[in-house]
Structure 1
Amino acid sequence: MPAESYGIISLFPALFAILLTLVTRQVLLSLFTGIWIGATILVGWNPIAGGAHSLQLVINSVTSPFNSKLLLFTFLSGAMLGMIFLSGGMNALAQRIIARIKTRKQAEIGTGILGMLIFVDSYASTMITGSVMRPITDKFDISREKLSYLLDSTTSPVVSVAVVSTWVGFEVGLIRDQLNQIASVDKSAFVVFLESIPFRFYSLLAIALVFILIVMEWDFGPMKEAEERARTEGKVLKDDADPLIETREEDIITPDHVDARWWYFAAPIVALVAITGFGLLYSGGWPSKAPVEALKGAATADAILWGVFSACALLLAILVGHARVKLDAISDSIFEGFKMVMFPVAVLSLAWTIGSVSQSLKVGEFVVGVSQGIITAPILPAVVFVTAAIISFAIGTSWGTMSIMFPVAVPLAVQLGAPLAGATGAILTGSLFGDHCSPISDTTVMSSMFAGADHVDHVNTQIPYALLCGVVATGLFLASGYGLSPLLLLPVGVVALFGVAYYLSEHADVSVPTTFGSSSD
């Protein structure tokens, strides 16, 4: 069947998989069902051929260079966590931090700040922040749902706007590709990137909402129920929760003779961040190129892989050379670490595949085609933002959405005379908005994974917060299209967030369960 004739049905496989996931809480079965439906459509509606094609699509996704490196990164992360548990370093560091953190609010603020400070890479930031803060937030009876929200809403939004990160090279590269084809625009791609930052309304509002909720001690919707459960019953997870990763230190026992030191954990984490940062620069051509130019061509997957491998190597040296742990015990801890990440690896593999199915069905082209018919210059930023969010939600990847949107939205903005920075910001932050709402997003999966949270519970509790920021951001994009400065609009957006969050947390009725797939009834 030709791609042009798929139409609205191109949305069905991903949306069906997402809805089935939320209703049944069976992530793997739901994702594969969506893949099978999409594959059946692609092969001409033959369900048997669709089943065979589904398997090939999974193989293609897993073996793509970037995805295979990310899977190896995940396995090595599991190995690193296993060795960290064996060393006792995480507990030692957590005890030192707990001695200085006295309240739940301080634990939440610490999580948010740490997530923002590690702005080099969203995967590394999620892994490090989740691993460090999970035992601390557990100590103060902060729900795993809240922890995974704090990870998801501080790591990716900050990395996406940081001028030194794994995202900046990709984003600047997309901008540069379009500017090279538009003779009427005489600007540096990096300058356009910088000009777009004030227009990243969703990303900036998502960060602001995190700290509004923490400082004011507000929550609403399903998150309020989760936090009340954790605070009153001491249950950081629901009774029927199925954590995406089992990260219980008691599964790996530190030998009695080991005198656990806090730097057993800190040293490999520092190595991870340092080697990842160096890898980004080196893979992009530094020192022969300037740092900013090097980041544009950086090999993100290679850099994070080098970083986590270096951390594992350093941990091995510490365990053998300083802690005097036997190799048999180390091997067992690595194997336990691998077991921790098996389920997330399976989820990631199928999430990527359902995303590739949606791209093969031309979801992006369909949504963009519908949107183009209603676009005028004043409403272009808002329409681009919403369109990017829909595509990102359906295919589960910010970067894939950016690749789809830039060749369409940037030339259209130039043609209509709309501000290029506004259109660029709308693409980049709209892609993140949809990503935050989608259970098939890799960053959402990673947040659930390193928070030790039930993935469906994370999605259910985060969506109301993401939608609040998304609705306010849409209003700001509409206003910016009519000439209002983003620097004036951002404070207005923060005030709107504050007011709505106050009403929802203090006055809205949340007594009726609002989650999909809830088994509480």
Structure 2
Amino acid sequence: MFWLSLIPALITIILTFKTKKLIVSLFIGVLTGSFLNNGFIGGITGVGEYMMDAMSEKESSYTLSFLIAFGSLAELIEMAGGISGFSEKVSKWAKSEKGVLGWAWVLSAITFFDSSFHTIAVGTVLTPTVEKVKGSKEKFAFILSVTSLQLILMIPIATAYIGYMVTVVTNNIKNTGITETAYTIVAKSVLWNFFTLAMLIIGIGVTIFGLGFGKYRIGKTVKEEDEFTKAHIMKEEHANQSIIEYPKNSKNLIIPVAILLVSTIFFFWWTGRDKATSFFSALSSADFSVSIFSAIMLTLLITTIYFLIQKISLAEIETHIVKGGEKVLSLVIVLILSWALTSATQDLGFNSLISGDLVKSIPKFLIPSILFLISSIIAYTIGSSWATWALMMNLAINFSLNSGVNIPLMVGTVWAGGAVADIISPLSAQMAGTDFGEHLATSFPYLLGGVVTATLGYLLVGFFI
């Protein structure tokens, strides 16, 4: 009856596709798994146990705490005029559409640590300049999407994503006999994320050469009168701006980012120094979850002191710390429910379902491409890369153990599949000042091109494993 382990995930995917409500769908999936495991009454109490167990894991607790602290830091930077200050400086240097798109890539150097922050910051900085140079907002929206999650996935340090990625791998390699650290696996898997690599290459082509496909040539589908009919609706979290407007100051963005990067590297070394003989070996031996949480807390503390020196009131700082934490609450709930769903499916015998006999019935060279395509379909259906990674990572690890396929390769296919969910982003469309329908129409061919390229890449690699 191990096939029952598929039911909770399938229910979650179908409900998400139908309702577009991920949190409710995940909860019903967990509830279904708990009922199947424990019966009716036991299933009701079991939901809480699955959720509490998910949060009680050390890596999970650190990851959730890091995300809340990161949300607070991002909110402080925005409140203190760091983003708007940088916007003024950049607008002086971007004189053409190509220049604006190029700056979207350049600004990734200081906004790389979170995709939403990058999209909001760069969108706020450059959208007025796009309008000034009469550039394509659809093209800008696409580049915003590419330079957010896709680029961030290639940077295995000091990002909100890397903490979660390491936690997902850690939770799925326990008791498997795998001796390699989760962080090392994640760092190696970056090179096997063929979809992200393909989208970055396409993004560079769009930026430099205006790459396009026929009638979908990006930025050409917008009618001139659309500029006067679009509804520019701000997201709820941006509507409640601070009552006090502080002077624009680009240093209020640059300094916190620099502190975060330096402190992350320092704590990597600090937590791994006793297990290594050199600086770089200490980084690979670090206690990752402790390192990134310590770094974000130190950065938050120093940033608070720095803003107090600028005469920003402690009450204002406290208000925005809380506000920033509230902004990531929905993401925290998604992660807890995703981890709980994974545990429920494992208790139903999912690991036994993916047995050696089942895996051996699939031609080995097809395994990476199949895993990528399944992950891509799930990601596009439910619209969440994080939930997709949580659902699919256990499958990837089991396939690897039972087939002998390289573990970083299999992990990389899951990152790649999940990334499909974020290439067409409503937030990118909003921050670029364009309609989501136009963003979808002009970007989908590029997404499809990336999926085809990645699939062919995994098929090719499959012949050599």
Q: TM-score, normalised by structure 2?
A: 0.74
Distance in 1, matches of 2:107 and 2:274, equals 28
Are the counterparts in 1 of residues 364 and 403 from structure 2 also a CA contact under 8 Å? no
**Deviation sequence 1:231-286 (CA, Å, 0-9, x none):** 974699977x895x7235x611444xx54321122111110111112222222226
Aligned equivalent of 1:348: 335
In the superposition, relative to structure 1, how do residues 192 and 247 fare at CA in structure 2: closer, same or farther (>3 Å)? Answer: closer
Are the counterparts in 2 of residues 85 and 252 from structure 1 also a CA contact under 8 Å? no
SS at match of 2:273: coil
SS at match of 1:285: helix
Are the counterparts in 1 of residues 234 and 430 from structure 2 also a CA contact under 8 Å? no
Aligned equivalent of 2:319: 332
**1:479 matched to 2:446:** no
What's the CA shift for 1:156?
Answer: 0.9
**1:93 matched to 2:86:** yes
Aligned equivalent of 1:487: none
In the superposition, relative to structure 1, how do residues 28 and 326 fare at CA in structure 2: closer, same or farther (>3 Å)? Answer: same
What's the CA shift for 1:178?
Answer: 7.1
Are the counterparts in 2 of residues 436 and 466 from structure 1 also a CA contact under 8 Å? no
Are the counterparts in 1 of residues 26 and 338 from structure 2 also a CA contact under 8 Å? yes
What's the CA shift for 1:91?
Answer: 0.9
Distance in 1, matches of 2:124 and 2:257, equals 16
Aligned equivalent of 1:312: 300
Aligned equivalent of 2:37: 42
Are the counterparts in 2 of residues 17 and 33 from structure 1 also a CA contact under 8 Å? yes
Distance in 2, matches of 1:259 and 1:297, equals 43
**Paired residues, number:** 439
SS at match of 1:261: coil
SS at match of 1:247: helix
Aligned equivalent of 1:247: 238
What's the CA shift for 1:169?
Answer: 12
- Which of 193, 205, 213 aligns to 1:212? It is 205
In the superposition, relative to structure 1, how do residues 365 and 477 fare at CA in structure 2: closer, same or farther (>3 Å)? Answer: farther
The one-letter code of the counterpart of 2:42 is: A
Aligned equivalent of 1:72: 65
SS at match of 1:324: coil
What's the CA shift for 1:107?
Answer: 3.7
In the superposition, relative to structure 1, how do residues 15 and 213 fare at CA in structure 2: closer, same or farther (>3 Å)? Answer: farther
Are the counterparts in 2 of residues 247 and 452 from structure 1 also a CA contact under 8 Å? no
Aligned equivalent of 2:417: 434
Structure 1 gaps of 5+ residues are 182-188, 414-419, 439-443, 485-521
SS at match of 1:246: helix
SS at match of 2:238: coil
Residues 135-174 of structure 1: matches in 2 within 5 Å? 135-139=124-128, 140=130, 142=137, 146=142, 147-159=144-156
Distance in 2, matches of 1:386 and 1:63, equals 32
What's the CA shift for 1:76?
Answer: 1.5
What's the CA shift for 1:197?
Answer: 7.4
Are the counterparts in 2 of residues 158 and 203 from structure 1 also a CA contact under 8 Å? no
Residues 284-295 of structure 1: matches in 2 within 5 Å? 284-285=272-273, 288-295=276-283
Distance in 2, matches of 1:68 and 1:59, equals 10
The one-letter code of the counterpart of 2:456 is: G
Distance in 2, matches of 1:64 and 1:424, equals 23
Are the counterparts in 2 of residues 280 and 300 from structure 1 also a CA contact under 8 Å? yes
Are the counterparts in 2 of residues 62 and 349 from structure 1 also a CA contact under 8 Å? yes
Residues 356-367 of structure 1: matches in 2 within 5 Å? 356-363=343-350, 365-367=352-354
What's the CA shift for 1:32?
Answer: 1.3
**Deviation sequence 1:113-139 (CA, Å, 0-9, x none):** 554x579xx7x2436534531312443
Residues 58-457 of structure 1: matches in 2 within 5 Å? 58-115=51-108, 117=109, 124-126=113-115, 129-139=118-128, 140=130, 142=137, 146=142, 147-159=144-156, 200-217=193-210, 233=226, 243=235, 246-248=237-239, 251-255=241-245, 258-285=246-273, 288-321=276-309, 323-363=310-350, 365-367=352-354, 372-376=359-363, 378-379=365-366, 382=369, 396=387, 398=389, 405-406=396-397, 408-409=399-400, 412-413=403-404, 423-424=406-407, 426-437=409-420
Are the counterparts in 2 of residues 83 and 330 from structure 1 also a CA contact under 8 Å? yes
Identical aligned residues as a percent: 18
In the superposition, relative to structure 1, how do residues 407 and 349 fare at CA in structure 2: closer, same or farther (>3 Å)? Answer: closer
Are the counterparts in 2 of residues 93 and 261 from structure 1 also a CA contact under 8 Å? yes
SS at match of 1:396: helix
**Deviation sequence 1:139-176 (CA, Å, 0-9, x none):** 3374696434531211114439x9xx8779998997xx
Moved more, 68-77 or 140-149: 140-149
The one-letter code of the counterpart of 2:115 is: T
Structure 2 gaps of 5+ residues are 132-136
SS at match of 2:330: helix
Are the counterparts in 1 of residues 166 and 183 from structure 2 also a CA contact under 8 Å? no
Distance in 1, matches of 2:226 and 2:313, equals 40
Distance in 1, matches of 2:291 and 2:183, equals 22
**1:12 matched to 2:7:** yes
